[in-house]
Structure 1
């Protein structure tokens, strides 16, 4: 899987940026797409505005963790893995038994966006299983990323040479496009381009970037972990469809 969004949409954390070899030529989103097509022929591609795109290949797919991509009312979602409680979730949201995991995630997002005043961390916490997804609402420009708390599905994110946000489960693609500026997407976390990175198990606490250094003292990588000693600033919760993302990280009000 691969999803690439320009900086104005992706809004990646600055901590992902790690200086790379100055001789490396930054790759454009077009070059990144061609690289994926070359590596995974027959991939499904969705070209979005301004050169942004989402792509998926079923090559070498783990049957226990299938990949899928759906589009519903201009909401695009790549889902990898499986949900153990998908039947319960279908009943809870009033969906048919033919609803797939990817379709379910889109429906959950639409409920959060359009009707629910409660925070998204509570909803994602209800998803049981091994999963990772990247969802993009083309109408509102909302990007939503999540990974299960055990990190059972591979997902990495990084910053390309043109400052685009890149998400993929292919480390070769990530290294070629982002150089050193990529890291595992933290397990048990959600990312919204309007409000940033947060833990859905500990939504009131900050997710901190921790850099790794080589023997010469140069930064060679970064990981993100929940810091239970630092609370996030309180954000007033609202229920409107236009600013739902700004209110998703507050509980217990």
Structure 2
């Protein structure tokens, strides 16, 4: 799955901008990145949302136990990969039908977060148990919300394209050729919200997240880590 967002939606992380400046390497534009994804994934679907957002996904090579799904409701778009172990209880909590799948659950959870402000976003994501990564874009408010599970069972990466767009994808190789050294693994157990103003840990919401510049030999430009945690948020 792939989500590409202009700087009018998402401010490019300073650490990834700096990494790309330290070690310049080939990049491509956001449009070229989406085209590359579509061409390299059979039956890929891509969509343009307004002038500043593109989403794409494919079921090609997906895991049987960690499927990918897409849904849109009330101008809220969601890409989801993985599965939730407590989907049944969450359906009851949010008043959803038994037929509701993970991607619909995440949309409802996001709506609850948005409409109950200032409801803590870490509470919403913290209730999700399982293996997952998701990208939510709310067109009505131009809000982005991205999160991964606590142990990184579903990988997610982010980087900056040649034209300054922030790209999120589950395929590191796809972003390597598009973002150069402005690339990192999205830290596990964390969420990114344009509403709260950046990256947060939902396991340890009071702990600061820092980015450690990577060495020249590594493919990553930086490694994001939650302070006070022994777990490194990016591995090669």
Q: Same fold (TM over 0.5)?
A: yes
Structure 1 residue 84: deviation in Å?
Answer: 0.1
1:95 aligns with 2:96: yes
| Distance verdict in 2 for CA 1:85–1:172, change over 3 Å | same
| Distance verdict in 2 for CA 1:227–1:162, change over 3 Å | same
How many angstroms apart in 2 are the aligned matches of 1:98 and 1:12? 37
Judge conservation of contact 1:30–1:51 (CA < 8 Å) in 2.
Answer: no
2:232 is matched with which residue? none
Q: How do residues 50-61 of structure 1 correspond to structure 2 at under 5 angstroms?
A: 50-61=51-62
1:14 aligns with 2:14: yes
Q: How do residues 36-115 of structure 1 correspond to structure 2 at under 5 angstroms?
A: 36-115=37-116
Residue deviations 1:191-234 (CA, integer Å, cap 9, x gap): 0023100000111111111112237xx996311111139xxxxx
Residue deviations 1:131-162 (CA, integer Å, cap 9, x gap): 00000001100000000011000110111111
4+ aligned runs moved over 6 Å, structure 1: none
Judge conservation of contact 2:184–2:220 (CA < 8 Å) in 1.
Answer: no
2:201 is matched with which residue? 199
How many angstroms apart in 2 are the aligned matches of 1:38 and 1:172? 14
Q: Give secondary structure in 1 for the equivalent of 2:98.
A: coil
How many angstroms apart in 1 are the aligned matches of 2:114 and 2:7? 22
Q: Give secondary structure in 2 for the equivalent of 1:92.
A: helix
| Distance verdict in 2 for CA 1:67–1:175, change over 3 Å | same
How many angstroms apart in 2 are the aligned matches of 1:134 and 1:223? 20
2:28 is matched with which residue? 27
Residue deviations 1:78-125 (CA, integer Å, cap 9, x gap): 000000000000011111101110000000110111135420101111
Q: How do residues 170-209 of structure 1 correspond to structure 2 at under 5 angstroms?
A: 170-194=171-195, 195-209=197-211
How many angstroms apart in 2 are the aligned matches of 1:56 and 1:83? 20
How many angstroms apart in 2 are the aligned matches of 1:214 and 1:22? 11
| Distance verdict in 2 for CA 1:219–1:55, change over 3 Å | closer
1:224 is matched with which residue? 224
Structure 1 residue 27: deviation in Å?
Answer: 2.0
Structure 1 residue 23: deviation in Å?
Answer: 6.9
| Distance verdict in 2 for CA 1:28–1:2, change over 3 Å | same
How many angstroms apart in 2 are the aligned matches of 1:181 and 1:212? 11
How many angstroms apart in 2 are the aligned matches of 1:167 and 1:220? 14
Q: Give secondary structure in 2 for the equivalent of 1:91.
A: helix
Judge conservation of contact 1:157–1:168 (CA < 8 Å) in 2.
Answer: yes
Q: Give secondary structure in 2 for the equivalent of 1:213.
A: coil
1:146 is matched with which residue? 147
Q: What root-mean-square deviation, in Å, do the aligned CA atoms of Structure 1 and Structure 2 show?
A: 1.9
